[in-house]
Amino acid sequence: MQLGRGWRRDRRDRSERRAAFAAWALALLLLVTGTMHFVSPSGFESIVPGFLGSPAFWVALSGVAELGCALLLVVPRTRRVAGWACVVLFVVVYPANIKMAIDSVHGQGSALIAWGRLPLQIPLVLLALYIARHATATRRSAA
Protein backbone atom coordinates (compact mmCIF):
# COMPACT_ATOMS: atom_id res chain seq x y z
CA MET A 1 0.00 0.00 0.00
CA GLN A 2 1.36 3.36 -1.01
CA LEU A 3 0.71 6.52 0.95
CA GLY A 4 -0.35 9.52 -1.07
CA ARG A 5 1.26 12.89 -1.34
CA GLY A 6 -1.32 14.42 0.97
CA TRP A 7 -0.05 12.38 3.91
CA ARG A 8 3.53 13.47 3.30
CA ARG A 9 2.47 17.09 2.90
CA ASP A 10 0.48 16.97 6.17
CA ARG A 11 3.47 15.48 7.96
CA ARG A 12 5.79 18.15 6.53
CA ASP A 13 3.31 20.90 7.46
CA ARG A 14 3.10 19.64 11.06
CA SER A 15 6.89 19.52 11.27
CA GLU A 16 7.15 23.07 9.92
CA ARG A 17 4.54 24.30 12.43
CA ARG A 18 6.47 22.67 15.28
CA ALA A 19 9.69 24.26 14.01
CA ALA A 20 7.96 27.66 13.87
CA PHE A 21 6.74 27.27 17.46
CA ALA A 22 10.22 26.17 18.56
CA ALA A 23 11.74 29.15 16.73
CA TRP A 24 9.48 31.60 18.53
CA ALA A 25 10.23 29.98 21.91
CA LEU A 26 13.98 30.05 21.28
CA ALA A 27 13.74 33.64 20.00
CA LEU A 28 12.07 34.68 23.25
CA LEU A 29 14.80 33.01 25.29
CA LEU A 30 17.52 34.67 23.20
CA LEU A 31 15.77 38.04 23.41
CA VAL A 32 15.81 37.86 27.20
CA THR A 33 19.37 36.61 27.53
CA GLY A 34 20.69 38.94 24.81
CA THR A 35 19.07 41.92 26.52
CA MET A 36 20.57 40.87 29.86
CA HIS A 37 24.03 41.11 28.29
CA PHE A 38 23.48 44.88 28.12
CA VAL A 39 21.30 45.42 31.21
CA SER A 40 23.53 43.46 33.60
CA PRO A 41 26.82 42.66 31.85
CA SER A 42 28.93 42.01 34.97
CA GLY A 43 27.64 38.45 35.46
CA PHE A 44 28.51 37.61 31.88
CA GLU A 45 31.87 39.39 31.99
CA SER A 46 32.96 37.27 34.95
CA ILE A 47 32.67 34.05 32.91
CA VAL A 48 34.58 35.15 29.82
CA PRO A 49 37.75 33.04 29.64
CA GLY A 50 40.80 35.22 30.37
CA PHE A 51 42.69 34.26 27.22
CA LEU A 52 40.03 36.04 25.12
CA GLY A 53 40.94 39.50 26.40
CA SER A 54 38.36 42.21 27.02
CA PRO A 55 35.29 40.63 28.67
CA ALA A 56 33.18 43.70 27.88
CA PHE A 57 33.83 43.26 24.16
CA TRP A 58 32.88 39.56 24.18
CA VAL A 59 29.77 40.12 26.29
CA ALA A 60 28.57 42.84 23.93
CA LEU A 61 29.38 40.73 20.88
CA SER A 62 27.58 37.66 22.24
CA GLY A 63 24.63 39.85 23.27
CA VAL A 64 24.37 41.23 19.75
CA ALA A 65 24.66 37.69 18.37
CA GLU A 66 21.85 36.47 20.61
CA LEU A 67 19.60 39.38 19.66
CA GLY A 68 20.44 38.88 15.98
CA CYS A 69 19.62 35.18 16.18
CA ALA A 70 16.34 36.01 17.94
CA LEU A 71 15.41 38.39 15.14
CA LEU A 72 16.32 35.87 12.43
CA LEU A 73 14.28 33.16 14.17
CA VAL A 74 11.02 35.11 14.00
CA VAL A 75 11.29 35.79 10.28
CA PRO A 76 10.13 32.69 8.39
CA ARG A 77 12.44 33.33 5.42
CA THR A 78 15.52 33.37 7.66
CA ARG A 79 14.47 30.74 10.18
CA ARG A 80 16.53 27.91 8.69
CA VAL A 81 19.78 29.90 8.66
CA ALA A 82 18.92 31.20 12.14
CA GLY A 83 18.75 27.64 13.43
CA TRP A 84 22.26 26.96 12.15
CA ALA A 85 23.48 30.30 13.55
CA CYS A 86 22.08 29.33 16.96
CA VAL A 87 23.89 25.99 16.83
CA VAL A 88 27.16 27.84 16.23
CA LEU A 89 26.38 30.40 18.95
CA PHE A 90 25.60 27.74 21.56
CA VAL A 91 28.80 25.85 20.78
CA VAL A 92 30.97 29.00 20.76
CA VAL A 93 29.74 30.24 24.15
CA TYR A 94 30.20 26.83 25.80
CA PRO A 95 33.71 27.64 27.11
CA ALA A 96 32.16 30.45 29.19
CA ASN A 97 29.80 27.92 30.76
CA ILE A 98 32.75 25.63 31.52
CA LYS A 99 34.63 28.53 33.14
CA MET A 100 31.54 29.36 35.20
CA ALA A 101 31.37 25.76 36.47
CA ILE A 102 35.08 25.67 37.30
CA ASP A 103 34.85 29.02 39.09
CA SER A 104 31.94 27.72 41.18
CA VAL A 105 34.20 24.98 42.56
CA HIS A 106 36.38 27.78 43.95
CA GLY A 107 33.40 29.48 45.61
CA GLN A 108 32.47 31.95 42.87
CA GLY A 109 28.76 31.95 42.12
CA SER A 110 26.17 29.23 42.45
CA ALA A 111 27.46 25.73 41.75
CA LEU A 112 23.91 24.54 41.04
CA ILE A 113 23.39 27.12 38.29
CA ALA A 114 26.92 26.78 36.94
CA TRP A 115 26.86 22.99 36.62
CA GLY A 116 23.21 23.03 35.51
CA ARG A 117 24.08 25.22 32.53
CA LEU A 118 26.54 22.69 31.10
CA PRO A 119 23.98 20.00 30.18
CA LEU A 120 21.40 22.67 29.29
CA GLN A 121 23.41 23.52 26.18
CA ILE A 122 22.66 20.07 24.73
CA PRO A 123 18.88 20.54 24.40
CA LEU A 124 19.46 24.08 23.14
CA VAL A 125 21.74 22.81 20.39
CA LEU A 126 19.25 20.03 19.56
CA LEU A 127 16.38 22.53 19.43
CA ALA A 128 18.35 24.80 17.13
CA LEU A 129 19.20 21.81 14.91
CA TYR A 130 15.53 20.87 14.77
CA ILE A 131 14.63 24.40 13.67
CA ALA A 132 17.40 24.42 11.06
CA ARG A 133 16.29 21.10 9.61
CA HIS A 134 12.52 21.53 9.74
CA ALA A 135 11.86 25.23 9.17
CA THR A 136 10.25 26.14 5.91
CA ALA A 137 12.93 26.51 3.27
CA THR A 138 13.08 29.85 1.52
CA ARG A 139 11.21 29.36 -1.70
CA ARG A 140 11.50 31.45 -4.81
CA SER A 141 8.48 31.94 -6.97
CA ALA A 142 8.58 30.25 -10.37
CA ALA A 143 7.23 33.32 -12.10
Half-sphere exposure of 11 (CA within 13 A, CB side): 6
Cα 66 from chain centre: 7
Q: pTM for the full model?
A: 0.82
- How far is residue 66's CA from residue 89's CA, in Å, rounded to a whole number? 8
**pLDDT tens, 58-116?**
999 999 999 999 999 999 999 999 999 999 999 999 999 998 899 888 877 777 888 88
Show me where the domains of the chain are located. Answer: 7-134
Return the number of other C-beta atoms located less than 10 Å from residue 59's C-beta: 23
